[in-house]
Amino acid sequence: MTETAPTSAGPDGSNADGEAPDDTAYDVPPDAPVAECEYCGRPFESEGLLALHRGRAHEPAISEAERTAYEEAYEAESGQLGRFRLKALAALVLVYFGLLIVYAVV
Q: What are the boundaries of each domain within the chain?
A: 2-105
**What does pLDDT average to over the chain?**
83
pTM over the 0.95 mark: no
Q: Provide the pLDDT for residue 6.
A: 45
Residue of 64, 26, 73, 75 whose CA lies nearest to 46: 73
Q: Provide the pLDDT for residue 73.
A: 95
Residue 43: strand pairing partners? 36
Q: Provide the pLDDT for residue 30.
A: 84
Measure the CA–CA gap between 51 and 48, rounded to whole angstroms.
5
Give the pLDDT confidence of 21-71 residue by residue, as tens digits. 555 788 888 888 888 999 998 999 899 999 999 999 999 999 999 999 999
